[in-house]
Structure 1
């Protein structure tokens, strides 16, 4: 019985195994095999007791999960040579790797470019220790060739330091800057005279800077002020850096009233601020060229008019003024404020070409020519001595707006600068040297954070004069009196111009007597005295004829004229006739020379006929420019043809006075209209033309030949009548 039961059970097991094999085998039922192997099956979630039991079993066997380890500091595996792990002994503590500290500096450099390391080092010293924004501004207004490259490098370094190293932008300063020599470029041949040659190598250099967080300009000023206050020691007294307490009622009321009036006046000057002001003074003899660049920023939308302030002395010296947008040639309209004698400045309104939106910027360029701004010092010099001049101006450029940075450059003709003024008490505007000299340039500034300066309070407290004493190697010329007469003749188709000039040498007066031997020796060795004028070169119009030049004694033959051909019709002249004048004697300091210069020119070169209006339009130049000279007083007279009517004129700039009179000359019956214009302090920029338009009727054209014919026939008639009149007392009788 038992054996039979075992056989049945074994048969059942064998039957089940065969069925499983038949239905699960891949070669008999591949779909079930794929379903069994690939289709996910549902797993039952274990109970909490089973999970805890499995964790205890794993912990006992040492197979605990990493995520279930006891929390604590991670232990760094020690590494030896070639990066191999070093087994750590039990009980030995391996320290953790410290966190990377926050960066405190950023290093950046330019690429190697063609420049001498000495030249590049000067720019590196200029920006070392300065705030990065201040250094960028210095490079923006620098005239060096490499300044733009360094400015871009500083801007990139600043952006990287703020973006990648999280440094504070307002506190970034150029902590270090140095110059490294680059690789030498290929050698090149340099041709020289007499078949020789040399070897030229172009040096390469680069500039490296390190930006760090430092103190801002305001913090430096505050510390400097505190340091100077601590130095002040007084006996039995304590200094307090606070405003004065208990002032007198009178002074307090006057101060409050004055402040209220000024705030009311400057309330309309809040639409702009000056990012930077750079003034460049180019020294000369009688004429000084001043260029001031205003980098302005609109603080209110819709700004249209910008106001410029000039000191009273500067305004009195200025004979020519023009305002342009930087990079453009069209001058802007300028309106002068009424002169207020109670204030030490004058305001000018400049109409901007476009309305500026909020925070938009614009660069304006103010160009002025100052006359009689220099004076000789010493006032006397011998023929062998050099000529020295002095120039004096104000330190600050006045402005009704707040100014971020301001700088003044005074450029002498040569590096021979004798002395210059060093301003004092400028701790509120700069911590560096207030003035410096490099070559022929004296730089004042830069000065930072300048408040509104066009007020009497600022002028009294901070404005101060500066003086530059320099050598000048050219004579200082002035035209004391210029009388120009331009006569228009239609019958001769001619324009005659005659100038009567009184030339004055405004340099140092001659010490002692004039030595002809010394003058001849200087001419022979080609080392003339700088304050002596041996000759003068003038540019005259092309196509002139019948040129004459004489002085009080008579004709001067020691001159040379090179006439340029006349320009084609409807084209501007590109060439000039050159006249080289050599006076009878050299004109030394304090000497005068009076002479007359004149010429004839074809009227067709200066006049046109407008058929629509029937008028003639004639262009008459005001003066012949003399390089480096100023005309103290000028009188320009234009004589029109006889019988001219409907006279109109358009001067290029207003005259001091003008009038119309009658000029009578030979063969005139009624006289000719004459226009007279009077000017003062003319420079080379005033060498422009006056346009005159008028009508000449046919009767006026025929009047002169009719008068000449009548006069001619009258003479014949008188002769005929005279021949027939017998004036003898006793007549002969036959």
Structure 2
């Protein structure tokens, strides 16, 4: 386990200790009657889903279900959720389990207590980042990219599992090697493990898959998102994005000639990618430190705007790039009047950058209008709120409140709305026009006084 993974793992354990004071016990009468697991390795993210059939073999109802993370991948977890048979979200939070303080557990609260001898179905989804390791770590320009995945053949759980199957979906049928815990079979780019029966709690058997994966290993190392609210009918959004190709590093020199001759689409370099913007976005700009990038393409769709971003140069392993993307949207789609002088802003904390995105660090600043009071913040998940700031815009002598939020290790599932509620008087709209009128009035007075003053040393007889 690398230092980075160890740090993230320790943070997960520490956060779980803070979330609960009492330790949770493992219910021995609860068993996994059947587990159908899928591991999606088609991109640079690892997406795990499991359909779990629970059975209560005891005599008293059970209201909670525990999910435990595999020790080697606990530090890679970015997102986790559990739904019931009706696809409704279940409450989930990190907990500490007695006798297993070295493991990361999540407690799932069932909608209805599971009665004796009854069964229920839940759906577990989790996303891991940084779990695919390029091997070899350096490749030439024309080489294919190979990666390795390490996991477990068994569904890692604190409960007895009666039956379990696992399907691993790969991005290519070119597989160098993989572990073969029987029964196992391969069909095209899918490896099927199981069924396995009568699996003891906390059973772990290492799974290793070495295969070809040329999907874009694009990682956003830092995303600074600025949202400026105006009650004149406009919301300005600007994103400063730093990206890096996190796949196998390029070994040797880069040949533009060979790159132009290579017409195959199955290549590990990144030529372009698509960003989704709101359908009402306008005044879109895309630039870097050298200026505007004219190779982008805007395609309006029915419910969104598709923006194809093409960097100034293709990205190979280890190569970095940074750019600025901005646009405006009408405020009536995101800003609502709750009643009286109270307003609610409902807008995305994080928006789409590219498919299967991974953002290592996000900072979102929301600039509120002049004169807001009683600001309340509601976020869809835990974020770190930095100290509120203050900024000054044109003809602004009072300053505007800036809500500053920060979070690390985000994926596409984190694209959710935040809500900011505040009080604001409509009379504040005339604040800037009054300042502009006063400035013009002062300028006219100065001009009037100036043209009437005589700064000459000698006065002519004609003027006298």
Q: Among residues 695, 701, 715, which one is paired with 2:429 in the alignment?
A: 701
Tell me the residue number matched to 1:105. none
Q: Work out whether residues 283 and 327 of structure 2, in 8 Å CA contact, stay in contact via their aligned partners in 1.
A: yes
Q: Among residues 80, 83, 86, which one is paired with 1:321 in the alignment?
A: 80
Tell me the residue number matched to 1:304. 63
Tell me how far apart the structure 2 counterparts of residues 395 and 359 of structure 1 sit (CA, whole Å). 28
**Unmatched segments (≥5 aa) in structure 1:** 1-264, 424-432, 454-461, 565-573
Q: Work out whether residues 481 and 633 of structure 1, in 8 Å CA contact, stay in contact via their aligned partners in 2.
A: yes
Superposed displacement of residue 313, structure 1: 3.3
Q: Work out whether residues 617 and 692 of structure 1, in 8 Å CA contact, stay in contact via their aligned partners in 2.
A: yes
Q: Work out whether residues 26 and 66 of structure 2, in 8 Å CA contact, stay in contact via their aligned partners in 1.
A: no
Superposed displacement of residue 644, structure 1: 1.2
Tell me how far apart the structure 1 counterparts of residues 257 and 111 of structure 2 sit (CA, whole Å). 61
Deviations 1:605-639 (A, max 9, x none): 2222123x432222222233210220111111111
Q: Work out whether residues 56 and 114 of structure 2, in 8 Å CA contact, stay in contact via their aligned partners in 1.
A: yes
Deviations 1:288-321 (A, max 9, x none): 1100222111122322222222233333211111
Tell me the residue number matched to 1:83. none
- SS of alignment partner, residue 290 of structure 2: coil
Tell me the residue number matched to 1:479. 220
Tell me the residue number matched to 2:343. 616
- SS of alignment partner, residue 414 of structure 1: coil
- SS of alignment partner, residue 587 of structure 1: coil
Q: Among residues 543, 556, 562, which one is paired with 2:293 in the alignment?
A: 556
Q: Is the aligned partner of 1:544 residue 2:285?
A: no
How is 1:503-582 mapped onto 2 (pairs within 5 angstroms)?
A: 503-522=243-262, 526-528=263-265, 530-564=267-301, 575-582=303-310
Tell me how far apart the structure 2 counterparts of residues 381 and 339 of structure 1 sit (CA, whole Å). 44
- SS of alignment partner, residue 388 of structure 2: strand
Tell me how far apart the structure 1 counterparts of residues 194 and 24 of structure 2 sit (CA, whole Å). 26
Count of residue correspondences: 438
Deviations 1:231-273 (A, max 9, x none): xxxxxxxxxxxxxxxxxxxxxxxxxxxxxxxxxx997512311
Give the 3 Å change call, closer, same or farther, for CA 673–334 of structure 1 in structure 2.
same
Q: Is the aligned partner of 1:448 residue 2:185?
A: no
Deviations 1:57-111 (A, max 9, x none): xxxxxxxxxxxxxxxxxxxxxxxxxxxxxxxxxxxxxxxxxxxxxxxxxxxxxxx
How is 1:211-610 mapped onto 2 (pairs within 5 angstroms)?
A: 269-300=27-58, 301-326=60-85, 328-338=86-96, 343-422=101-180, 433=182, 435-453=184-202, 463-491=204-232, 493-522=233-262, 526-528=263-265, 530-564=267-301, 575-610=303-338
Q: Work out whether residues 544 and 563 of structure 1, in 8 Å CA contact, stay in contact via their aligned partners in 2.
A: no
Deviations 1:310-368 (A, max 9, x none): 23333321111110123x22111113104889644222221111122211111111100
With the length of structure 2 as denominator, give the TM-score of the two structures.
0.89
Tell me how far apart the structure 2 counterparts of residues 658 and 365 of structure 1 sit (CA, whole Å). 34
Tell me how far apart the structure 2 counterparts of residues 340 and 317 of structure 1 sit (CA, whole Å). 23
Superposed displacement of residue 596, structure 1: 0.7
Of Structure 1 and Structure 2, the greater strand share is in 2
Q: Which moved more, 1:496-505 or 1:723-732?
A: 723-732
Superposed displacement of residue 414, structure 1: 2.1
Flag the structure with larger Rg.
1
Deviations 1:419-467 (A, max 9, x none): 11245xxxxxxxxx254433222233333222232xxxxxxxx634322
**Unmatched segments (≥5 aa) in structure 2:** 1-22
With the length of structure 1 as denominator, give the TM-score of the two structures.
0.57
Q: Work out whether residues 341 and 425 of structure 2, in 8 Å CA contact, stay in contact via their aligned partners in 1.
A: no
Deviations 1:375-398 (A, max 9, x none): 211112222111111111233323
How is 1:132-171 mapped onto 2 (pairs within 5 angstroms)?
A: none
